[in-house]
Amino acid sequence: MKKIEILGTGCKKCNDLTELTKKTADSMQIEYEIEKVTDILKIIEYGVVATPSLVVDGEVKISGKIPSVDDIKKYLS
């Protein structure tokens, strides 16, 4: 099971990344749990300075922008 975290303050881009990631993971038929992390201290622990950020299994995959569906698939594979 993949552990997916969306780091951000709850802005529109953060919500868009959450929905796009869910749809992509569902289309790939993978098991996952997704968590929205809004606590600024937890976000800083990842070394992230720009949101939204996508974290998969504890590793920051992208930060500061919404990736393409193809990129999300690559990050989840």
Catalytic residues: 11, 14
Residue with tokens 């997704």: 34
**What is the DSSP-derived secondary structure letter of residue 2?**
E
What lies within 8 Å, CB to CB, of 56 at 6+ separation is: 2, 3, 4, 5, 75, 76
